[in-house]
């Protein structure tokens, strides 16, 4: 059980690092599109971060679904010893699955923040 909790915490850290990618792209696109349309910059940025993050996490979950169906992708990695230094119990698809699920949690929080801002 301790190894699984360790693996989940590593996935949480990785998901925070990976979430920087859609956040950066969303900030850039949100600023550019709000300047072109004279809309609210903050709402536009939050919307673009949400949209890009949703697409990214959905593609990750799609790859996990294909791997779960086609069991050839669930085999041991070529560099299994190096993998076990970071993850004790999880394989690659489980790591991708949990990272995508954590990103969805961040996106739900982001969408709620956007909702609260729009209601004020």
Q: Does the structure show a pLDDT above 70 at 92?
A: yes
pLDDT at 112: 96
Please say whether the beta carbons of 48 and 30 come within 8 A.
yes
User: For the chain, what is the domain count?
Assistant: 1
- Pairwise CA distance, residues 90 & 24, whole Å: 29
Sign of the Cα torsion 9, 113, 49, 35 reads negative
Q: What is the 3-state secondary structure (H, E, C) of 24-71?
A: HHHHHHHHHHHHHHCCCHHHHHHHHHHHHHHHHHHHHHHHHHHHHHCH
- The predicted-structure confidence for 17-44, as pLDDT tens digits, reads as follows 999 999 999 999 999 888 777 778 899 9
- Domain with 98, as residue range(s), is 2-119
Q: What pLDDT, on a 0 to 100 scale, did the predictor assign at position 94?
A: 87
Query: What is the DSSP-derived secondary structure letter of residue 79?
Result: T
**Could you report the per-residue pLDDT of 101-111, keeping only the tens digit for each?**
999 999 999 99
pTM, to two decimals? 0.87
74 falls in which pLDDT band (50, 70, 90)? low
Distance CA 116, CA 120 (A): 6
């Amino acid at each position: 059980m301790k190894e699984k909790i360790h693996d989940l915490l590593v996935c949480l850290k990785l998901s925070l690092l990976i979430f920087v990618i859609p956040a950066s792209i969303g900030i850039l696109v949100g600023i550019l599109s709000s300047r072109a349309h004279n809309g609210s910059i903050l709402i536009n940025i939050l919307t673009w971060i949400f949209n890009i993050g949703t697409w990214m996490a959905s593609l990750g979950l799609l790859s996990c679904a294909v791997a779960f169906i086609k069991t050839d992708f669930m085999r041991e990695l070529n560099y299994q010893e190096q993998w076990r230094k970071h993850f004790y119990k999880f394989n690659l698809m489980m790591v991708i699955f949990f990272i995508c699920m954590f990103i969805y949690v961040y996106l739900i929080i982001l969408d709620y923040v956007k909702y609260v801002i729009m209601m004020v």
